[in-house]
Chains A and B, each alone.
Chain A
Amino acid sequence: MDLLEPIIKIAVVLGALLTASAIVVLFDRKFSAYIQNRYGPNRVGPGGWMQSIADVVKLVMKEDIVPKAANRFVHDLAPMISITVALTTFAVIPFGDTIPLFGKEYNLIIADVNVGILYILAMTGMGVYGLTLAGWSSNNKYSLFGGLRSSAQLISYELSMGLSLIGVIMIAGTLQIDDIVRSQTGYWFGWIPQWNVISQPIGFITFFVASFAETNRLPFDLPEAEPELVGGYHTEYSGMKFGLFFLSEYANMIVSSALITALFLGGWHLPFAETWGLDPLVLALLKIGAFMFKMFIIISFYVVIRWTLPRFRYDQLMNLGWKVMLPVSIANVLATGVVMLWLTR
C-alpha cells in the first residue's frame, strides 16, 4: 500500500482542520459581536483577523498551573484525549468526490473504512473521557460537577444520536460514509436531490439537536455553565492545556457540521453540477466548495442558536434527552421501516 497518499491527505486535513478551528473561533466571536451590536475583536491585524493566532501565542506563553491537590498524570492526559479525538474523527468523513490529479483518481477521504459510522460513534464516545477525567483529576468541586454533568449529558444524547442515524443507514444499507454520500446523489422526480434531510427530516432534527449537546454548545453548555460552575471541567486548566480544550471544542463543532453535511445534506453533492459540462477537475473542486459551504451554513446556525436560546436547566436537559429525543428517534426508526417496506412491497 502506498503510504505517501494518506500522509499527504492527513497533513492537509489536519492543517485545514486546525486552521479552520482558528477561523471558526474568530467567526464565532465576530458573529456573536455583530448579533450583540458590538465590534468584537478588531485590534490584532486588519479587522481583527489575526486574533486567533495571537490567542494561541498567548496561551503557549502562559504558565501551566497544576493545582497541588490534582492528579498530575490524569490532569495532563485529559486535554490530550480531547484534542486527539476531535482531530481524528474527521478521518472517515469524505470531503469531496474523487478528484483527478496527475492522471490518477484520488478519493478525498483519509480512511474509507466499512464501519465509518461506528468509528464516529466510538470516537465521540471516547471524547467523554477527556471531559470526565479533566473534571475528576482537578480535585475541584466545580470541575467535578462539570465533568459529571458533561458525561451524563454526552451519554444521554449519544443514544439519540446513534438512533437517529439508524434511519439513514436503513436507506443507504451501509455503514461506509462515502457510500452514504453517494446514495444521496440521485434525484426524485428528476429534480429533488435525494438528500437524507428530505427523506429523514425527523432523524435530521434529532441528530442536529444531539450534535449541539455533544459539542457542548449553547443551549446545552451546562458542563461549563459560567454562572454556576465557573468554567466547569476546565476550571483548573491554564496555558495551552486550556487551549487544547478550547481548540477541541471548536474542532468538534467543525467535525459535527461535516458529519451532518455528509450524512444528511448530501455531502459534497452539488445538485445538477454534472449537467453543466465542466472540466472534471473544476467540478471536483466545486464539490469540495459545496461541502465547505454546507458546513459553513451549519456553523453559522450554531452561532445564531447560541444567541437565540437561553441555557436549559439540568432537569430540562435530561428530560429532553430521555423523554423526548429517545422515543422520537425510536419512532423514527419504526416509521422509516414501515415506509420502506410499503414502498418496496
Chain B
Amino acid sequence: MLESYIPIFMMLALGVAFAVAMGKINEIVGPKRPSEEKLSTYESGMEPVRTARERFSVKFYMVAMLFIIFDIEVVFLYPWAVSFRSLGIQGFVTMLIFLSILLIGYYYVWRKGALEWD
C-alpha cells in the first residue's frame, strides 16, 4: 500500500530539483550589481518608513482560528462520506447531530460579528 506513494516522493524530489536548479541558474547567469538604493525596501519610490514587522489586524487571527475549527469539521466529514452508503440512515442522523452542534457555533460566530470585515 505504502509503495504507491513512492512516485509522489520522486515527483516531489524532481519538483524541488527543478526549483533549486532554476534559482541556481539565475544566480550564475544573472548580473550582480547591488547598490544601496536597489537593496532598500520598495515603498513606491519613497524612503522606507520603519519595518514591516509590526502589528496587523486581529481579524486575520480570527479567520485562522475559525478556519481550524471548521476545517476539523470537514476532516470528520471525509471518512463519513466514504462509508455513507454502508452507514445508512443511522450514520446520516449522527452526522446531522454533529453538524447541527457546529452550526450553532457558526450562528454564534456570525451573530457576534466575527465574520464582519469593515
B26 and A84 form a contact (CB under 8 A): no
Chain B residues with Cβ below 8 Å from A63 are 30-33
Chain B residues with Cβ below 8 Å from A141 are 43, 52
B44 and A241 form a contact (CB under 8 A): no
A64 and B30 form a contact (CB under 8 A): yes
Query: How near does chain B come to A157, taking the closest CB pair, in angstroms?
Result: 10
Chain A residues with Cβ below 8 Å from B96 are 334
Given contacts A91-B11, A139-B41, contact A64 B81 (CB under 8 A): no
B42 and A159 form a contact (CB under 8 A): no
Cross-interface CB contact of B23 among A88, A240, A315, cutoff 8 Å: A240
Cross-interface CB contact of B38 among A65, A140, A151, A323, cutoff 8 Å: A65
The size of the chain A interface, using a CB distance under 8 A, is 87
Q: How far is the CA of A1 from the CA of B68 in the complex (A)?
A: 39
Q: How far is the CA of A296 from the CA of B60 in the complex (A)?
A: 36
Chain A residues touching B, majority SS: helix
Given contacts A87-B18, A140-B42, A243-B22, contact A318 B117 (CB under 8 A): yes
Chain B residues with Cβ below 8 Å from A319 are 115, 117
Cross-interface CB contact of B20 among A80, A236, A340, cutoff 8 Å: A80
Residue in A112, A114, A162, A323 whose Cβ sees the most chain B Cβ within 10 Å: A162
Chain B residues with Cβ below 8 Å from A3 are 6
Cross-interface CB contact of A60 among B4, B30, B63, B115, cutoff 8 Å: B30
Cross-interface CB contact of A91 among B8, B30, B63, B117, cutoff 8 Å: B8
A-B contact pairs, 18 of them (CB 8 A): A10-B11, A60-B25, A60-B30, A61-B29, A84-B15, A114-B1, A138-B52, A139-B52, A145-B56, A148-B56, A151-B60, A158-B71, A166-B74, A169-B82, A173-B83, A241-B26, A244-B23, A327-B106
